[in-house]
Homo-oligomer: A and B are copies of this chain.
Amino acid sequence: MTVSDKGTKPSRRAFLKGAAAAGGTLAGAGAAHAAGDPVITELQPWMQQLGDGVDVAPYGKPSEYESHVKRRTVEWLTADPVSSINFTPLHELDGIITPNGLCFERHHAGTAHIDPAKHRLMINGLVDTPLVFTMADLLRFPRENHVYFLECAANSGMEWRGAQLNGCQFTHGMIHNVMYTGVKLRHLLEEAGVKTSGKWVMPEGADAAAMTRSIPMEKALDDCLVAWKMNGEALRPEQGYPLRLVVPGWEGNMWVKWLRRIEVGDEPWHHREETSKYTDLLADGTARRFTWEMDAKSVITNPSPQAPILHGKGPTVLTGLAWSGRGTIPRVDVTIDGGKNWHAARMSGPSLDKSMHRFYFEFDWDGGELLLQSRAHDSTGYVQPTKNELRDYRGTNSIYHNNGIQTWYVNKNGEAENVEVS
């Protein structure tokens, strides 16, 4: 197997000269290359006829040819569809921004459809002056804009006990990455005046699930946002419209949607979502609690089980995503032979704190079997562990916080499969 190192440009020219010389025959090295490629000389209808004019949508939508690009659910994963999950199709995306229509979402009582004129945010508990804000009130506070990833603590959770789900949409798709606009929670807490005894906050949702979580005051006063926009426009209903909490770098369950109340207290509440759920059961029967920060993690999105190599041997682009709840990702290593040789991936796009990072690795595929893995390094020096390294510490009872290295096996046909290598 020949692997080009970073910076060495694989020779595409030899490939393409033979394959795609204009006016000649296209000897099909790529899947789309039919011999003779009649498409070159076909006059397509869109070249001859006027397109939509009057009816360009006031709010646009994707091409009809992209209907396969969608969130998907796994029906057996929750007891009822009103308590369910829709996964981001990571293998269909590129760059670092998740478009709003494709953002992972988890709901516990269905998606609430809230009239913003009838929505209020209350701050109460251990404060000098309990306050209630309308949406209009919030627009009078200084705003900030940040791109943050939101990852469910259960992302990759099925994989604790070995390779299970066949596709990065399902193994790693409980995540999205958008630009939020909102006010720092700190500003609102300062407005109410937190009493000296106030050490924790409890955000609460306005949907029928009334989600609650305990967050230490230090985090609340640091970088949490009360946000109303994602990627420039209003939050989507399934993302908490009109208001959600943003808890940068911490598990998604804490980012309470449909946010209606922030209670200030002197100790954590130990509600359902931080006791029977979102704790990590260890092999000895004890449990880790308050495991809020999302550790550095990465996944190869292409090639992957849902995105096989279709073009045969030769120049191949491998790409993926990496993120850390503790900072940026200065480096990702990639192997195509199951860890015998590691290569520095090429990072592309802005490197932002607690955001997804995009990486690429270009190589010449020799047509043989591959074992693809990626390994993220974050700005604290933390290195993404193997799944077995995690299991040594945490056993296999856990559902949450699996940030182990993912492996895809690629066969000689370019088809990929979720596997584990020991």
Contact = CB atoms under 8 A, between A and B. Distances in A.
Interface of A: 9, 12-13, 15-17, 19-23, 26, 30-33, 37, 39-40, 42, 44, 46-54, 56-66, 69-73, 80-84, 86, 92-103, 105, 107, 109-118, 120, 122-124, 129-137, 139-147, 178-181, 190-191, 206-208, 210, 229, 231-238, 241-242, 258, 310-311, 314-317, 319, 346, 348-350, 352, 358, 360, 362
A223 B386 CA distance: 38
Nearest to A355: B350
B70 A82 contact: no
B233 A136 contact: no
Contacts of A105: 56, 60
A46 B134 contact: no
Contacts of A319: 143
The 8 closest A-B pairs by CB, nearest first: A51-B110, A53-B82, A58-B70, A145-B349, A22-B130, A32-B134, A94-B181, A46-B112
Given A111-B52, A360-B143, A137 B82 contact: no
Q: Give the number of times this chain occurs in the complex, counting copies.
A: 2
B103 A60 contact: yes
Contacts of A315: 140-141
A51 B229 contact: no
Given A60-B102, A346-B142, A111 B51 contact: yes
Given A16-B137, A238-B60, A94 B232 contact: yes
5 contacts: A53-B83, A58-B71, A94-B143, A102-B233, A136-B310
Given A60-B238, A101-B59, A142-B317, A233 B46 contact: no
Contacts of A147: 350
A417 to B, nearest CB: 21
* Residue among A37, A57, A81, A348 with max Cβ neighbours from chain B (10 Å): A57
Nearest to A141: B12
A180 to B, nearest CB: 8
B62 A136 contact: no
Given A97-B97, A112-B51, A143-B360, A129 B17 contact: yes
Contacts of A63: 113-114, 234-237, 241-242
